[in-house]
Amino acid sequence: MNLRIGYSPCPNDTFIFYALTHGLIPVDNHAITPIIEDVETLNRKALEQHSLDVTKVSFHAFA
């Protein structure tokens, strides 16, 4: 199974997702596809059905 994970290029996000996207955390039979976009684009993608499997959103988009 391929998981599309969206996060922004800010240092906090790249640090958080580095180990996962570079194979340092075992994910069994899953492949990880990082989708790196600005936060506003990720907010929009979060509202689109089947766009991303997991994504970061801003507090504003979440609320």
- Whole-angstrom distance between the N-terminal and C-terminal Cα of the chain? 30
For the chain, strand residue ranges (E) read 2-7, 31-36, 54-55
- pLDDT tens sequence across 14-26: 999 999 999 999 9
pLDDT at 45: 94
Please check whether the domain covering 2-62 is classified as CATH 2.40.160.10: no
Half-sphere exposure of 36 (CA within 13 A, CB side): 12
Residue 63 has pLDDT above 90, yes or no: no
CB 13 within 8 A of CB 61: no
DSSP-based three-state secondary structure for 5: strand
pLDDT, average across residues 32-60? 93
